[in-house]
Chain A
């Protein structure tokens, strides 16, 4: 049983560019949440997708958007990249009907130059 997978592992972009990160949830999970973790900090909640809709959103600007597909996989898009967007982006999956534990993927390390 594959766990949560994320791609790519590492990504280098320049300011102003756009980036798309991808996440496949753990088998049987229907909810995907995205988190941003700056160096030396705890992860911060970006948003959550359930039934292909954004259900909750953290304190992030509209440059951060996402999508969930019918197979429950998800994408995180960031437009007009800033240097401060450099971080580890973590995807977590969970099931609405099977408790509250969230399982995290290995993350995508984004560097903005």
Chain B
């Protein structure tokens, strides 16, 4: 079963715009990770945020974590066509057993 849900399920934007995806989960966690997946292939790790952190940046990515609301958000700034992919959040409660959400399909049009 899935741990939580990403919202929205699908997002369509123009190049240069920002994209925001949200993730909700159900149980306490050690950390939360965001992954990107292109065309049903392998997952690419984007960023990890630990339960005692509230915000983290990596290049054009900004991730926030609110453990009181059991939610996280991923912001991609100045989107590019190459950002078109599915994005998944995954929670790690113990021993690196990742529980994934259902994913957000992002389409960035030129």
Assess the A48–B100 pair: CB atoms within 8 A.
no
Across-interface contacts of B85 in A (CB, < 8 A): none
Known A48-B96, A101-B33; judge A107-B42 contact (CB<8 A): yes
Across-interface contacts of A86 in B (CB, < 8 A): none
Across-interface contacts of B81 in A (CB, < 8 A): none
Assess the A55–B100 pair: CB atoms within 8 A.
no
Known A104-B44, A106-B42; judge A55-B35 contact (CB<8 A): no
Known A31-B96, A33-B97, A101-B33; judge A106-B102 contact (CB<8 A): no
Assess the A42–B100 pair: CB atoms within 8 A.
yes
Assess the A101–B45 pair: CB atoms within 8 A.
yes
How far is B40's CA from A104's CA once the two chains are assembled, in angstroms?
13
Assess the A44–B95 pair: CB atoms within 8 A.
no
A26 to chain B, nearest CB (A): 11
Across-interface contacts of A103 in B (CB, < 8 A): 45
How far is B101's CA from A92's CA once the two chains are assembled, in angstroms?
17
Q: Which residue of A lies closest to B102 (CB)?
A: A42
Q: Indicate if B78 sits at the interface (CB-CB under 8 A).
A: no
The 7 A-B pairs with the shortest beta carbon distances in the complex, nearest first, are A42-B100, A106-B42, A104-B43, A104-B42, A43-B100, A56-B97, A107-B42
